[in-house]
Each structure stands twice: as structure tokens, then as C-alpha cells.
Amino acid sequence: MVKLINTGNMNAFNIENQGNGVYNLIFDTPGEKVNKLTTEAFIQLDKTIDEIRKLDDIKLLFFKSAKEGYFIVGADINEIANITDKDDAAKICERGLAIIKKIEDLPFPTVAVLDGVCMGGGLELALAFDYRISTDDKSTQIALPEVKLGIFPGLGGTQRLPRLIGLQRSLPLILTGKSVNGLKALKLNIVDACYHREYLDSGLKKFTDTVLKNPDKILRKRKRRGAMNFFLEKTAIGRSAVYRSAKKSLYKSTNGNYPAPVNALEVIKKGYKKSLNRGLKIETKHFAEVVIGDVSKYLIRLFFISESLKKYDGVDTDTTFNKKKVDKVGVLGAGIMGAGISWILSKNSTEILLKDINYDALTKGLSTCKNYYKYYLKSRKMKPAQVDMKMMNITGQTNYNGFKSTDMVIEAVFEDMEVKKQTLTETENSVSANTIIASNTSSLSITEMGTSLEDPKRFIGMHFFNPVNRMPLVEIIPGTDTSDETIIHTVNLAKKMGKVPVVVKDSPGFLVNRILLPYMNEAAYLMSEGVKPERIDRVIKAFGMPMGPLELFDEVGIDVAYKVSKIFDKELGERMKSADILNNIYNDAGLRGKKSGKGVYLYTKKGKKPNPVIDQIVKDSGASKAKNITDREIEERIIYRMINESAYCLQEHIVTNPEYLDMAMIIGTGFPPFRGGVLKYADTIGLSNILNSLNSYKEKYGIRFTPCQLLKEHADADQDICRM
């Protein structure tokens, strides 16, 4: 018989007496969907632990969550974001650690039951219990993801986890924030048992019996044996090798731009062989320094933007539409984009009718889909039977049979206006009146395409980024006549696909390409002035971009970039005029980029190297050697043009929210998150400074550096552009 011990009506923690000396401590934050470790929650936990210590018949304590699918999602990020003083940060950690230590010091066995999401501070709290149990439910994800927010575990995670599972197993989890499921946590010894949720109660009874009668049976399983393990974990030379390897891997992935994982590694290295108390003090000192840093604040801001986008339905007006279930989707075109879209839909259990003009194209498209699943097979995230079931969601065909029953059709045919218009007209005649029709395009006008339809209200653009299986961003582009209902349903489908949808205005290049092209174009201007391509790319990669702008030309295809640049020339005027050298490279030299093996660089199986043809083109154009162009000028000319164009996009309402623009550029182009986003970076270095530089470059290089009026207004008012 369960007996509830009342600890207060608004208390997030309650005590249940299961009988026979077994008690449950239940975490259930009133009025909330999830449990968070807020300051108030810690205060209540502290008082509840004091009440538990008064129980004279307790033999074992289980710690559980009453929230289905959630154990503890971590600390309250709002509270972390508000920490601006190092001493305050240290005091907050010390108070939390003192409460966790009280749990660790309880004089009877304690067991944390991890059923559902267990993140950050939730796992750190669980590590203070003597034992841990998890479920194998898909909702059970266990991680210390703090580095993704620019911090690292500050409630004992850097000290308790390595002591529990060793350096080799704990470092990848702490330094990358990677999550594991219940079964993987059991394999790593983070938990001592893993049960099906349906059999959890019987599992707890069995575990209780083992803990009370034969606890050594559990503890023995935690010990790792073997000479290599002994060497790497128990000897100074071995541990030094582990730390060196981790540091090398860390700098390879972050280039030292993210202080959190670097500090986490240092904390583990300094504290691992010291007493736990000493290790916790080292952790607190470093955590207090990192949490008040700019990178932490930038990454936390991006987290909040991401959460905002998850809730945004794409329209700013109040709507009362019923949420449309999109269970069946037609995809037109089995090329690389159509196949990628079909794969994403199949992975998310949507029925797909994949149409192309012949079976050879369909076979290639289906083969592409199957290849995308290889990663899931190799990493054992899926079994072959599961992949087969997912692939069965896709039906390849050369006609419109069955399209009447589709909820949505996504056109992904050749990027040509007339071809797309003809395809859309055929589609409208083959679907029901309620079917939403979307076009995947990177540059063509959605409004103009919509003129081919009798009902343009249900037509919309979806710009997927290549490769579709990896790039999370989808630009949602309403035409002039697109209805709010169509926007909302399309945004919801993108979310179902696991994408991040950003609604943008129908305009040349939409948002990301509109900003990216002048960035790339300026690199071409610098190249035409005699700056070596490899130097330009090196400077921009040092800034934090994942690849240089000239490498990007080759990656997307010089032919594609050239054609888009000509659209920009026509639609946006002299300010967007492409560098003349692009014409020389594309039309005269016939270079196409990586896909042909020849572009700004030459590509072989051994890698890439500078293309001597580029040097000759520059020499023939009469460019002087770039003796007076510094690395700083290279960076400013390229990045400031990106900033200026971002301001133009805000001014023209291509996107209305500057935070969404920042997120789109980060996930769409790889703009470095540690700089906070294009516009956040602009605010950081000062709009007046940017304005002065743009004016200086305009005087020297011409109209393309003309500052945006919105940028001037914010600079004159000494107002951040991110606070519109």
C-alpha cells in the first residue's frame, strides 16, 4: 500500500512509502510539462532530503519523475543566461553541490530511475545516487549537453562521471554533449540496469532485492578489466595519452573557438586523481569563468531562438485553422533533391509517391534513398528490417496515379521557370482541391510560378538545402497569393521532417542565397585583384566559416553560382554586379567546379590544389599583385558585405525577425555559432565601426559597399540591429 507523505501542496517533491522500508522520492513540478532544476526546485529538494533523513524505517530510496517521457531536462537555462558575475556563478554552483552532496551522504542505498529525458543537471543529480536504472524507451535519452550551450557540467558531472565509467568513456560524452539511450547507458555503466518500461515495476522489485541482499553483484559489473584499460586509466603515462588524444580531437573539431570543452578537459585532467571535494572546487572555478563568457551567452541565445522557431507557425496573425495531417506526399523528380526529400519523408513515416519521367531515373532516386540509410545501419541506429519498412513508404511511378489522395505535392524538377510552370499545371490537374502544392527552388519566383495555377492560394515555395539529408534549414516562401493556411501546414510538415523552417519573402535568392552571394562575389573581386584564392579561403576559415568562399564556389558549382549572379545583376542592380572574373572562369575557361574536377581548385583523389589557370586569368586581366591588401581587409570586405546585405534583407522585410536571420545563416551556411550570428556579430563589433569601414571601401572600390539605410539608422541611434 503506497502511503503519501505530504511535503506541501506546491512542493515539486513528494515522498511515497512503498512499505517494507522502501520509499519513493517523486519529482513533479506543479503546472509544468517537464522537470527542471531551478533555484526554487533545489530549495525544495534540500528541505525534502531533510525530511527523508528523519524517517527511521527507510532501507532504500528510489528517485523518480512523475512526468511521462521526462526525468529531468536539466537546469533552468533562463537562470544560467542571467548569470553575469563570476562570484555569483560560483555561489550558485556551491549551493547546488551542497544539496547534491546531502543525497550522496544519505546512510541508506539510493537509486535514480531514469525513465525519459535525462539531461545536464538531471544526470549530474542522478550521479550522486548509489545506483541508476534506466528504461529502454525511445524517450530515454541521457546526456551532459552543456558544451552545446557554451558551458560544461557545473554540478559535479566532470568529476563523478569519469570516476564512475572512466576517462575513455566519459570524455566523449562530456566534451561533445552526445546523448545515449538506456541500453547504451547500461553498456557504458552509467546505469546498472535497463528495463522495458512495461516491466519497470517488476524490474525495480528485482533490483531492490539485489541491492539489499547482494550489492556487490552490481558493483562488480562496473569494473572494467584488461591490460590496456589498466594502462590508460590507472597509469599517469596512459592517462596523459588519453588527454592528448582528446585535446587533439577537440581542437580539430572546434579550432579552439569554444572555451567550454577546452575548460572541461582541463578540469577533468586537474581533478581526476584528486579527492572528489577538491575536484568539485576546480570544476566550480572554471565553470564560473566560462558561464559569464560571450560564447556562452551567444550559444544560449541561439538555443532560445531555436526554441522560438519550434513554436512559430509561420504567420503573425491569429489563426483558427485545424491542423492538417500530412500523411501522404507526392514528390516530382527523383534527382538528388527529390530523392533527398523522399528519404526524409520516409524516415518520418510518411507515404510518398515519387514520380519521374522514366524508370531509370526512379531507380537512381530509390538507390539514393537506400544509400542514405547506410549510416543508420552502420551506426546500428536501425536494423535492416527497419530500413526495409521505411523504404516501403516510397512508391516509384512514372504517372500521377494516386495523386488525388495526396495531402501535399513537392515539385523538385529542373530549375527552369517554364519547365516548373508546365509541371505545376499538370500537377494541379492531377490532385484534389485540398492538396497543397510546393516547389523546391533556390532562386525562381514563387509568385510568377503561381500564375500557372488556377488556385495559387495553395501554392508555396520550399527551398531545401543540399545535401537534403544533412542540411536542417528549409526556407518557406509564400507567393503574393499564398494563404496563411498553406503557410502553416507547410511549416508544420517541415517540422515533421525534422527540419528548421524559416518563412521568407519571395525575392531574388530569398534569404540565405541573397546574403551568401555578395559574400562569395567579394571573394571573387579580391581574387581578381591578385589575392591568392588559398589565402582568401584561409582568412575566412580562420574567421570561423566551415569552408572558404572560393571553395564554396567549387562546391555549389561555378555554373550554378554564375547563373544566379546574373539573376541578381538583373533584379538587384549595380550594387550586386558580379565580378568580371566569374565570366572569365565560367565562359572563357569553362571551369565548373568540384563536380568536373576543375574550378578555382583542381580536384583529384589525393585532394585539391590551386588551379594554375586562375593565376593566368588574373594575370591576363592586368591585375596587380595584392601587396597592400591585408588579411584584415580580406575579412572585412567579405564579412561586412554579408552583414550589410543582412541589413538590406531586414529593411526589405525578406525576413522580419533578425534572430531568425541569424539562425538561418548559421544552419544554412555554417556562419560560426561562437560569433552569435551575422547580426549579433555586427552588434558586437559596433555598427558605427562597420558603417565607417563600408563608407571607406565604397570610396575605394565602388557602389557595392553602399551601406544599407537601416544599418545607418541603427548606427546613428547607437542601437543594436538585433533589437528591432
Residues labelled catalytic: 475
Angle at 316 between CA 331 and CA 662, to 5 degrees: 75
Alpha carbon 395 to its chain centroid, in Å, reads 31
Quick check: 579 and 528 in contact, CB under 8 A?
A: yes
Quick check: 198 and 133 in contact, CB under 8 A?
A: no
Which of 311, 304, 309, 271 shows the shortest CA–CA distance to 80?
A: 304
Pairing relation of β-strands 117-119 and 408-411?
unpaired
Using CA atoms, how far apart are residues 175 and 242, in angstroms rounded to an integer?
13
Quick check: 284 and 157 in contact, CB under 8 A?
A: no
410 to each of 81, 177, 393, 403, 417, how far by Cα in Å?
A: 40, 35, 16, 11, 15
Task: Determine what percent of the chain falls in helix, strand and coil, rounding each to the nearest 5.
Answer: 55, 15, 30
Which of 163, 167, 82, 153 shows the shortest CA–CA distance to 118?
A: 153
Checking 332-335 for CB contacts under 8 A at 24+ apart, the result is 332/356, 332/409, 332/410, 332/411, 332/412, 332/413, 332/423, 332/427, 333/411, 333/412, 333/413, 333/414, 334/361, 334/362, 334/364, 334/365, 334/366, 334/368, 334/396, 335/361, 335/365, 335/412, 335/413
Q: In this structure, what C-alpha cell is assigned to residue 158?
A: 566532470
Quick check: 209 and 216 in contact, CB under 8 A?
A: no
Using CA atoms, how far apart are residues 558 and 561, in angstroms rounded to an integer?
5
Residue listed under C-alpha cell 528504461: 135
Using CA atoms, how far apart are residues 482 and 456, in angstroms rounded to an integer?
6
Quick check: 232 and 242 in contact, CB under 8 A?
A: yes
How many residues are given for the chain?
Answer: 724
Residue type, 363: T
Q: In this structure, what C-alpha cell is assigned to residue 8?
A: 506541501
- Edge-to-edge strand ranges of the sheet holding 22-27: 3-5, 13-19, 22-27, 60-65, 110-114, 131-135, 193-195
Quick check: 262 and 281 in contact, CB under 8 A?
A: no
Burial class (CB in 10 A: 0-12, 13-18, 19+), 131: buried
Pairing relation of β-strands 110-114 and 60-65?
parallel
Report which DSSP code applies to 705. Answer: G
Alpha carbon 214 to its chain centroid, in Å, reads 44
